[in-house]
């Protein structure tokens, strides 16, 4: 086993996070921006699952295997990722609702045209 496959998921996580940030920084549409934030969050899923991965291990479900008979991937990070998904769904839903309201009140979803709060 070389080092590359071990490091690769971490690099992917960093890349996904930075791509999302780039999208957020240059976004011209608030719905697109909310999507970019979700991309940033996907980086945390990748990272969490990469942390718990073990070579040759199976899913931590004991319905059909004897406990202790096979190596398992870390169930803790899967629980964390699941919680993270729930958090992400809440945030995204609330953000989209806010964007909808911004669109109604400002008549635009282009962040460049929202200039009431500054200085």
Binding site for other proteins (CB under 8 A): 13, 17, 21, 24-27, 30, 33-34, 37, 40-41, 43-44, 47-48, 51, 76-77, 80, 83-84, 87, 90-91, 94-95, 98-99, 101-102, 105-106, 111-112, 114-119
Tell me whether residue 13 or residue 73 sits nearer to other proteins (CB atom).
13
Residues contacting 41, CB < 8 A, separation 6+: 20, 84, 88, 91
User: How far is the C-alpha of 104 from the C-alpha of 92, rounded, in Å?
Assistant: 18
- 25-55 as b/e, with b when 16 or more CB fall inside 10 Å? eebeebebbbbbbebbbbbbbbbbbbbbeee
59 burial type by CB count under 10 A (0-12 exposed, 13-18 middle, 19+ buried):
exposed
Phi, psi dihedrals of residue 59, rounded to the nearest 5°: -65, 145
User: How far is the C-alpha of 1 from the C-alpha of 56, rounded, in Å?
Assistant: 12
Tell me whether residue 72 or residue 91 sits nearer to other proteins (CB atom).
91
CB of 29 to other proteins, least distance (A): 11
CB of 80 to other proteins, least distance (A): 6
CB of 56 to other proteins, least distance (A): 19
Tell me whether residue 64 or residue 112 sits nearer to other proteins (CB atom).
112
CB of 30 to other proteins, least distance (A): 7
Tell me whether residue 47 or residue 73 sits nearer to other proteins (CB atom).
47
């Amino acid at each position: 086993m070389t080092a590359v496959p071990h490091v690769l998921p971490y690099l992917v996580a960093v890349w996904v996070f930075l791509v999302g940030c780039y999208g957020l920084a240059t976004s011209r549409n608030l719905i697109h921006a909310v999507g970019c934030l979700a991309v940033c969050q996907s980086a945390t899923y990748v990272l969490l699952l990469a942390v718990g991965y073990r070579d040759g291990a199976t899913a931590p479900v004991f319905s059909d295997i004897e406990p202790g008979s096979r190596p398992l991937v870390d169930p803790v990070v899967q629980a964390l990722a699941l919680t993270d998904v729930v958090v992400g769904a809440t945030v995204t839903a609330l953000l989209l609702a806010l964007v909808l309201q911004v669109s109604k009140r400002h008549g635009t979803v282009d962040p460049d045209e929202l200039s009431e709060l500054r200085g």
